[in-house]
Structure 1
Amino acid sequence: MLGRSMLAYLPVNLANIVVSFGTIVVLTRLLGSAEFGRYAIAMITVQFVHMGIFTWMEAAMARFQARAERENDVRSHLKTLYTLGAITGLIGGITLISVVFLLPLSPQMTTVLAVALGSTALQIIFNLGMEAHKAAHRVKRYSFTYSGQTLLSFTLGILLVLFTPLREVAPFVGILLGLICFIAIDLTFMLTRMRGGTYQADKTKIYFAYGMPICLSLLLTYALNSADVYIIAAILGEASAGQYNAGYNLANRSLEILFIWIAMAVTPMAVTAFEKQGSAQSIEIMKTYGASLLWIALPAATGIALVSQDAGFILGESVRAEAVTVMPLIAFAGMINGFMNYYVQRAFMLSGKTGAFAWAMVPPVLLNIGLNLWLIPQFGLMGAVYATVISYALGLIIAIVMARRSYPLPLPMRATLEIAAACAVMWLAVSALPIPEAWHGPISLLIKASVGAGVYLTVCWLINAANCRNIIRDVWQKFRRPKLAEVAE
């Protein structure tokens, strides 16, 4: 079942891959390191703002859709959250843009931030629809709308970089235009779903009480992920911030796409099971989820560490040399962070103890900031990497301990050992490859990736790591079923 659900979300994952890698490949070539640094700072700022102001509504949409269906109250559920999103987006957007023009920033930074913050004020309307589709298991509609908006925004942004003087502002203008197009399509559909519903002030309080701690925890988590870029920019300059962000994104975003893909498929299943069948059924789903998450993500992190130097050709020359040095350790840091945010955090979500996750993030965030201020002056960009790894490890330990106090989160210890053993064999096999120096780059990357994947899957199949044979059979049957239907006809 997990394999089939993951396949249903494959178009979204492919769109994320195209945009994530396309952004890194294209923008690091078209923009200078300082311009890319300003783009990165603006993108991180937008994420901080969106999480702090808007995400509580998105979290409430995802968490309470199944309960609204059970109580036959979906129309009012949607009407309440869309009303809140429209009001907050309008007031928040105007306020944020006004504040930016009052800050003592350079004209370039002011312009890119103003456009970026305008886009995030509109993003909330789009995101509410996406969360509603996922929670209601409207997978095809979600996949089409999300993938379409993502690809259109990316394409428009790149065209604007190429053919206008907007430079680092162009990607955010592209996002704005893509959102306008697809909100016009999706909102028409959603308005029919909320027709006859009423705004419910009492539900607003429930949604806020549930979602705001998630906002705080996301802010702290994102600070743990990205505050180092601000510190690097302050200590080493915007160009260094761009170089670090390019390497970080190439390694971490590759893993995050996998985490989001699997979480996208499983989270609605776990919430629906919890609401309609009880905690026991959700625990069974989480057990399979945790093992599957590690089975896919840990070898990906190992592979990124193995091919980091060969993958440097993906990046523009202005950021390449420094970016590839941070990638190996960032890959494993991303693995730790992803498991914490996309697995352990689900225990807080299901138990409703979302505030506890926020408290769990406070110590690692403080440690991360302190380590960055201490290590970056001594070790440059690698100082930020060391701070990231240590802080993520502390955050994962604290989150697991606190999560298990309110929800019996299963820990896939046996699966972890099996997967780690398979990754170790893969590492030895790839490291032993006699690849000539002249082949380093795309050819070496393809050889290492092919051999590594083959060795890993073979070892996993032989020892049935994380019960992977069921996942593989699930996927195989999904592809085979249409062929069987043709034969039957």
Structure 2
Amino acid sequence: MTSRGEASSETDALADKEPGRAGVRLVKQSMLYTLGIAATRFANLLLLPFYLRTLSKEDYGALGVLEQLVQMMVIITMAGGMETLVKIGSDLYEKPEDQLRLVSTMTTWMLLSGAVVGVLGSLLWPWAGQLLGGIRLWPLGVCALFTVAASSAFQSLSAHLQVRGEVRKHTLFQALRTAVNVAIGVPLLLLTDWGLMALLLATCLSYWICAGALATQMPKGLRLSIDPALLKRVLRYGVPLLPHIAAAYIFQSLDKFMLAGSSEHGLEVAGVYSVGSRIASGAMMLGLGMQRAWLPFFFKQAKQGDAQSWERVRHLSFWSMAGMATCVAGLSLTAPEVVALITPGGYGTAAAVTSVLCLGTLYRTGAQTAGAVVLSNESAAYRIWLASLPAALVNIALNIWWIPRWGALGACWATSVAMALNMLFTVMMGRAVRKVPFRYGAIGALLLTVTLIVALAEHAPLLVRLALCAVVPLLAVAFDWSFARAEVGKLLARRRALS
């Protein structure tokens, strides 16, 4: 009798030999990963009207600032995030015992480094808190710092499921973490006067509870221990990736931190920005879901390196970007109505913020798609920070220039411009590493179309904006009509055969 992991490996091998099945599998995995992220995003969106009527703009701004701070510290703690663990785990795919040692090592490292980061953060808080709009260390800062180690451990354990292809279990635990968060946070918000502290405490506890539950689902042999050789390998690969992996978080964190610390704007305007970024996370969840499926897929195709593998990469990368562009265009064009439906009065600027941040997410997805080429080569991966650091410096300069003039809208345009530069730099670096047959011209045309839609269609009548939603998918079909027709034909034939 074969185990579930062995059966999954056999299915993967079969899918790799059939282009149609590989494409369907990639789409299914992307959708399942997206579903797990959507559980978190949609729960936040559904509860957003309740939060905005319970918390002040200043409180919601502080929540957004602290969330960004935790995300940044988690990436530092994880030495490059889940991408590092997926790459090293994929290299050890044929050695389950080494994979388990990797999970044990990194989970232990996350807990220890999370504790160190928390202590250092508390020592720096008297200075940093003033730069973040005066957020106090106790109790808000302490709760945020305790969340860092828990979130890092949870993501480390989740990465093992991602490498093994256990997508359903990965999605289940993402949804479970959200359910626990809501089950704790909403009653605390309703029954106490803790306000913002209730939400932070719920987030912290949900990560600790679900990290413990996920640890019980790991194969036998998981324990708190560190393998020095594996840890050195992870750190050597992951530390140079930090600027690249954290680019999107760095850009939005800079926006929120600089808005919160601005004497002209402060936490209230940061709260408006946070609402826009929360709604724009609808596009981000699709990008993250695609990325979680794309990296293992690309690493496997690059390892095979035959003409059939590169043909799959050529078409599926295009359709992944086309799907993302369609989502971004749709959410951007309907942002005014979505914001009006969710928020109380006083958040009108959040609609424009949503549209522009959605555009930035599209650029970021392009950078991640091209970045897989660099990440697949360990010697080149050490230099990928060169694609992100210049964009971050441009973001800082634009924030200094634009925030005093345009507030939250200036901040989000600074982020989108920086993400576009990050994408261009990553593409150039990827082409220097390996000539992958991406459809650069067709993808570039889709990106330009969405950019024009976001920049020019904001004040168009609703019917015009709804009609424009069809432009991107129609362009995508026109660019790759033969492949789309062939794949639809295969799916219909397979369905007829099954029936």
What is the aligned partner in structure 2 of residue 212 from structure 1? 239
Computed over aligned residues only, the root mean square deviation of the Cα atoms, in angstroms, reads: 3.5
- C-alpha deviation, 1:166, in angstroms: 2.0
TM-superposition CA deviations, 1:81-103 (whole Å, max 9, x none): 23322322333334434543676
What is the aligned partner in structure 2 of residue 296 from structure 1? 323
Letter of the structure 2 residue corresponding to residue 310 of structure 1: E
- In the TM superposition, 1:176-255 aligns within 5 A as 176-190=204-218, 192-194=220-222, 199-235=226-262, 236-251=265-280, 253-255=281-283
What is the aligned partner in structure 2 of residue 149 from structure 1? 177
1:373 aligns with 2:400: yes
- Whole-Å separation in 2 of the counterparts to 1:472 and 1:147: 31
The 8 Å contact of residues 298 and 423 in structure 1, kept in 2 or not, is answered as: yes
**SS in structure 2 of the partner of residue 158 of structure 1:** helix
1:77 aligns with 2:105: no
1:21 aligns with 2:50: no
What is the aligned partner in structure 2 of residue 161 from structure 1? 189
- In the TM superposition, 1:95-106 aligns within 5 A as 95-100=120-125, 105=130, 106=134
The 8 Å contact of residues 48 and 222 in structure 1, kept in 2 or not, is answered as: yes
- C-alpha deviation, 1:149, in angstroms: 1.1
Letter of the structure 1 residue corresponding to residue 102 of structure 2: H
The alpha-carbon distance between structure 1 residues 426 and 213, as it changes in their structure 2 partners (threshold 3 A), is closer
Letter of the structure 1 residue corresponding to residue 374 of structure 2: F
Letter of the structure 2 residue corresponding to residue 84 of structure 1: W
- Whole-Å separation in 2 of the counterparts to 1:469 and 1:155: 46
Letter of the structure 2 residue corresponding to residue 338 of structure 1: T
Letter of the structure 1 residue corresponding to residue 36 of structure 2: V
The 8 Å contact of residues 49 and 344 in structure 2, kept in 1 or not, is answered as: no
Letter of the structure 2 residue corresponding to residue 51 of structure 1: I
Q: Structure 1 stretch 140-149 or stretch 78-87: which is displaced more?
A: 78-87
- C-alpha deviation, 1:136, in angstroms: 0.8
The 8 Å contact of residues 110 and 153 in structure 2, kept in 1 or not, is answered as: yes
- C-alpha deviation, 1:32, in angstroms: 0.9
What is the aligned partner in structure 2 of residue 89 from structure 1? 114
TM-superposition CA deviations, 1:313-364 (whole Å, max 9, x none): 2442255212123333333232212221x21221221112223221211222
What is the aligned partner in structure 1 of residue 372 from structure 2? 346
Identity of aligned residues (%): 17
The alpha-carbon distance between structure 1 residues 464 and 454, as it changes in their structure 2 partners (threshold 3 A), is same
Instruction: Give the alignment partner of residue 77 of structure 2, picking from 53, 75, 90.
Output: 53
Instruction: Give the alignment partner of residue 160 of structure 2, picking from 132, 148, 154.
Output: 132
What is the aligned partner in structure 2 of residue 357 from structure 1? 384
- Whole-Å separation in 1 of the counterparts to 2:305 and 2:136: 53
Q: Structure 1 stretch 353-362 or stretch 105-114: which is displaced more?
A: 105-114
The 8 Å contact of residues 370 and 426 in structure 2, kept in 1 or not, is answered as: yes
- C-alpha deviation, 1:118, in angstroms: 0.5
The 8 Å contact of residues 90 and 163 in structure 2, kept in 1 or not, is answered as: yes
Instruction: Give the alignment partner of residue 416 of structure 2, picking from 389, 399, 402.
Output: 389
The 8 Å contact of residues 352 and 458 in structure 2, kept in 1 or not, is answered as: no
Letter of the structure 2 residue corresponding to residue 153 of structure 1: N
- Whole-Å separation in 2 of the counterparts to 1:180 and 1:475: 42
The 8 Å contact of residues 5 and 265 in structure 1, kept in 2 or not, is answered as: yes
What is the aligned partner in structure 1 of residue 430 from structure 2? 403
Q: Structure 1 stretch 43-52 or stretch 348-357: which is displaced more?
A: 348-357
1:309 aligns with 2:336: yes
Unmatched 5+ stretches in structure 1: 436-443
- C-alpha deviation, 1:49, in angstroms: 1.1
What is the aligned partner in structure 2 of residue 438 from structure 1? none
- C-alpha deviation, 1:401, in angstroms: 1.0
- C-alpha deviation, 1:126, in angstroms: 1.0
- In the TM superposition, 1:253-264 aligns within 5 A as 253-264=281-292
Letter of the structure 2 residue corresponding to residue 351 of structure 1: N
TM-superposition CA deviations, 1:130-158 (whole Å, max 9, x none): 10001011122212112211232134223
- C-alpha deviation, 1:38, in angstroms: 0.6
- Whole-Å separation in 2 of the counterparts to 1:389 and 1:227: 12
TM-score with structure 1 setting the length: 0.83
The alpha-carbon distance between structure 1 residues 409 and 14, as it changes in their structure 2 partners (threshold 3 A), is same
Instruction: Give the alignment partner of residue 114 of structure 1, picking from 142, 162, 185.
Output: 142
- Whole-Å separation in 2 of the counterparts to 1:31 and 1:158: 13
The alpha-carbon distance between structure 1 residues 355 and 170, as it changes in their structure 2 partners (threshold 3 A), is farther
- C-alpha deviation, 1:241, in angstroms: 0.9
- Whole-Å separation in 1 of the counterparts to 2:233 and 2:308: 25
TM-superposition CA deviations, 1:36-85 (whole Å, max 9, x none): 01101111111111112224364432112232233453333333223322
- Whole-Å separation in 1 of the counterparts to 2:476 and 2:105: 48
The 8 Å contact of residues 129 and 135 in structure 2, kept in 1 or not, is answered as: no
The alpha-carbon distance between structure 1 residues 137 and 375, as it changes in their structure 2 partners (threshold 3 A), is same
- C-alpha deviation, 1:239, in angstroms: 0.1
- Whole-Å separation in 2 of the counterparts to 1:291 and 1:32: 43
- C-alpha deviation, 1:110, in angstroms: 4.2
- Whole-Å separation in 1 of the counterparts to 2:300 and 2:492: 26
Unmatched 5+ stretches in structure 2: 1-23
Instruction: Give the alignment partner of residue 175 of structure 1, picking from 203, 213, 216.
Output: 203
**SS in structure 1 of the partner of residue 376 of structure 2:** helix
The 8 Å contact of residues 57 and 85 in structure 1, kept in 2 or not, is answered as: no
Letter of the structure 1 residue corresponding to residue 117 of structure 2: G
What is the aligned partner in structure 2 of residue 440 from structure 1? none
- C-alpha deviation, 1:254, in angstroms: 1.9
The alpha-carbon distance between structure 1 residues 294 and 217, as it changes in their structure 2 partners (threshold 3 A), is closer
- Whole-Å separation in 2 of the counterparts to 1:151 and 1:332: 29
What is the aligned partner in structure 2 of residue 335 from structure 1? 362
- Whole-Å separation in 1 of the counterparts to 2:486 and 2:53: 43
The alpha-carbon distance between structure 1 residues 95 and 230, as it changes in their structure 2 partners (threshold 3 A), is closer
- Whole-Å separation in 1 of the counterparts to 2:413 and 2:124: 34
The 8 Å contact of residues 292 and 468 in structure 1, kept in 2 or not, is answered as: no
TM-superposition CA deviations, 1:456-481 (whole Å, max 9, x none): 65665566459444665677789x59
- In the TM superposition, 1:478-489 aligns within 5 A as none
Q: Structure 1 stretch 104-113 or stretch 81-90: which is displaced more?
A: 104-113
- Whole-Å separation in 1 of the counterparts to 2:474 and 2:405: 43
- In the TM superposition, 1:419-458 aligns within 5 A as 419=446, 457=473
- C-alpha deviation, 1:178, in angstroms: 1.7
- C-alpha deviation, 1:454, in angstroms: 6.2
- C-alpha deviation, 1:278, in angstroms: 4.3
